[in-house]
Structure 1
Amino acid sequence: MGKIALVAWLDLKESFRSRWFLVYSLVFGGAVALFFLAGVTESRVLGFSGLGRLLLLFIQVCVVILPVFILMSTVRAIASDRDSNVLEYLLSFPISLADYYFGKSLGRLVSVFVPIFASLVLAIVWGGIKGASIPWEIFGFYVLLMFSLSVSFLGIALFISTLVKSQEIALGSAFFVWLILLAFMDILLIGVMMKNAFPEEAIFGVALLNPIQVFRVAAMALFDPELSVMGPAAYFILDSFGKAGFALYSIFYPFLLGMGWLWGGYLIFKRRDLV
C-alpha cells in the first residue's frame, strides 16, 4: 500500500502543476462564486431557495461538464507516461504493475474529486456565514453521488488509456464515449421509442445503464422525490426501485461500474507491451 500511495502522490504533484487542474478547479469554484454573486441563494424559483437552489444549479453544471473533464484529463494518464518514457523509468524501481496502475488511479481520483468537494464545502461555509439554512441531507447525498460518478468515469478513462497507445486516439475515444452517453440520455432513446415502438420499460431500463442518466435522475430526486418532471419514466423508476432503492442504486451502480472498468483496464495493462 505504501508504494501505491507513493505513486499516487507523484501523480498528484504532476496534476497540481498542470494547466488542466487549474482550469478544472476554476470552473467549479468559479461556478459557485458566480452563483453567489448573482444572488442565487437569495431568490426563489419553483419552490427552491437558499443553498438548495444553488445545489440545484450546480448539479446542472456537473451533469455535462464533470464527465468530460474527468475523461479528457485522465484518458492520457498512462499513454502520456508511456510516450515520455516515464512509465519505463518508474518500473525500473521496485514497483509492480499493480502498484503503478492503482497508484495512478488513486492519484487521479483525488485530483478530480477534491476540487468538486472543495467547491461544495465553499458553498456550505459561505451560505452558513450568510445565515442560510444548510440542507445537510442533500449535501451528503450529493457528495456521494459526485464521488460515485467520478469513480465511474475514472474507470472508463483508465480503461481507454490502457487500450490505446496514442494520446490522440485516447482523447478522440474519450470524447466519442462522452458524446454517445450524452446522446443516449434523451435524443437517441426518444428516437428509438418513437420509430420502432419498443416497450417503454425496455427504453427506460437501457437509459438507467447510463451513469450520466442515473446521476441526473438521482439529482432530480433530491429536490423532487416524486420525479414529477419525468412523466411516465417516474412510474417505472419508483415502481421498480422505490425511493430508497433508487437512491442506493444511483450510488452503488456507477461506483461498481467504474471499478469494473478499472479492473478491466488493469487486466489489459499487465498483459500488453508496456513500452
Structure 2
Amino acid sequence: MLTIAKRPSLGLIWVIANKELKDSLRNRWVLVVFAIFWVLALSMTFAGSAVSGTLALPSLSSVIASLTTVSVFIIPLAAILLSHDAFVGEEEAGTLCLLLTYPVSKSQILVGKLLAHCTVTFAAITSSYGSSAAILMLFGRGEAWEEILSAFVLLIASSCLLATIFILISYLVSLKSAEKARAVGSLLGLWFALVLIYDLLLLALLVADLGYGSQWLVNLLILLNPTDLYRAINLVSAGAPLGSLGLLAQYEWSLPLLLGACVAWPLLLLFWTRRVFITKLV
C-alpha cells in the first residue's frame, strides 16, 4: 500500500519506484534477471573459447564480441520480462485507477516505474559484466587494464541504454494493450522482428544490391534499429569481427554518431510514452 503525503516531486517518484521494486522482488523477476545476466557473463568469459577446442580465457575482443552477440538477444527479453505488465497488469488488477486517485501525476508514475526497472536491469548488467572485466584484468592474456576498463564501460553503458529502450517499448505496448497476454505476445513479436528478421532483411538488401546504390539506405536502417546500434557500438569499439554488420567498417561510422543515435532512442521513447500515458483514459 502506498503512503503518499505532501511530498516534493522527487519524493513521490521515489515512493513509486520503491513500490515497483518491492513488486519485482515479490514476483521473483529480479532474481530471474540477475541469474540470466550472471550466467551469460560467466559462461561467455570462461567458456567462450570452447568453440575453438580449448578452455582458456579468450582475448578481450573475443569476450566483447561474444557478450555483445548474446546480449542483443537477452537484454531485450529481460527488459520485456520485467516491464511488460507495468501498466496493463495494474489496470487489470484495478491498482492503476487507485494510484491515480492519489496526488501524484502520471509523469511521476512513469518516471518512478522507469527508475525502478532501470535500477534492477542496470544493477544486473553492471555486476555481471563488471565481474567479467575483473576476471580478464586478473587472469587475462595481458591486455592493459585501461583497455579492458574502457571496453567494458562502453559495453555496460550501451547495454543499459538498450535495456532502457526496451523497457520504454514495453511501457508503450503495455499502455496500448487491453490485456496482459496481448501485451506479451506483441512484445515477443516485436523482439523477434527487431533482433532476427530486421537483420536478415538488411543482409538480403545488401546482397541483392550488387551496384551498391542503396548503401546509404542500409546504413540509415541500421541507425533506426536499437539492437543493430548496440552491436555496432561494441563491435566497432573493440575491433571485433562485425559479421553481417561488416558494412559499417566500409563507411566508417563514428562512435560518437552511433552513441548519439543510441541515446536519442530512449529520449524519444520517453516523450512518446509520456504522451500516450497522459492522453490515456483509465
Normalising by structure 1, report the TM-score.
Answer: 0.84
Q: CA deviation at 1:192?
A: 3.7
Q: Aligned residue for 2:105? A: 96
The aligned runs of 1:1-275 (5 Å cut-off) are 1-35=10-44, 37-38=46-47, 49-50=58-59, 52-130=61-139, 133=143, 134=145, 135-194=148-207, 199-224=214-239, 230-236=245-251, 238=252, 241=253, 246-274=254-282
- 2:240 and 2:195 map into 1 onto residues whose CA distance is 24
Q: Structure 2: 5+ residue runs without aligned partners?
A: 1-9
Q: Deviations over 1:48-67 (max 9, x none)?
A: 94555433322222011111
> Residue 149 of structure 1 contacts residue 255 of structure 1 at CA under 8 Å; is this kept in 2?
no
- 1:249 and 1:44 map into 2 onto residues whose CA distance is 38
C-alpha change, 1:101 and 1:192, in structure 2 (3 Å) is: same
Q: CA deviation at 1:29?
A: 0.7
- 2:247 and 2:65 map into 1 onto residues whose CA distance is 22
Between 7-16 and 248-257, the greater mean CA deviation after superposition: 248-257
Same amino acid, percent of matched pairs:
21
Q: CA deviation at 1:83?
A: 0.9
Q: Report how many aligned residue pairs link the two structures.
A: 264
Between 153-162 and 51-60, the greater mean CA deviation after superposition: 51-60
Q: Structure 1: 5+ residue runs without aligned partners?
A: none
- 1:174 and 1:219 map into 2 onto residues whose CA distance is 25
Runs of 4+ with >6 A deviation: none
Between 126-135 and 166-175, the greater mean CA deviation after superposition: 126-135
Q: CA deviation at 1:195?
A: 5.4
> Residue 203 of structure 2 contacts residue 244 of structure 2 at CA under 8 Å; is this kept in 1?
no
> Residue 232 of structure 2 contacts residue 248 of structure 2 at CA under 8 Å; is this kept in 1?
no
C-alpha change, 1:223 and 1:3, in structure 2 (3 Å) is: same
For the aligned residue pairs, the C-alpha RMSD in angstroms reads 2.9
- 1:130 and 1:201 map into 2 onto residues whose CA distance is 43
Equivalent position amino acid for 2:196 in 1: A
Q: CA deviation at 1:254?
A: 2.4
1:77 match: secondary structure:
coil
C-alpha change, 1:211 and 1:230, in structure 2 (3 Å) is: closer
Q: Deviations over 1:46-101 (max 9, x none)?
A: xx945554333222220111112212321211111111122122223222222112
C-alpha change, 1:121 and 1:167, in structure 2 (3 Å) is: same
Q: CA deviation at 1:147?
A: 1.8
> Residue 155 of structure 1 contacts residue 260 of structure 1 at CA under 8 Å; is this kept in 2?
no
- 2:138 and 2:195 map into 1 onto residues whose CA distance is 37
Q: CA deviation at 1:38?
A: 3.7
Between 205-214 and 224-233, the greater mean CA deviation after superposition: 224-233
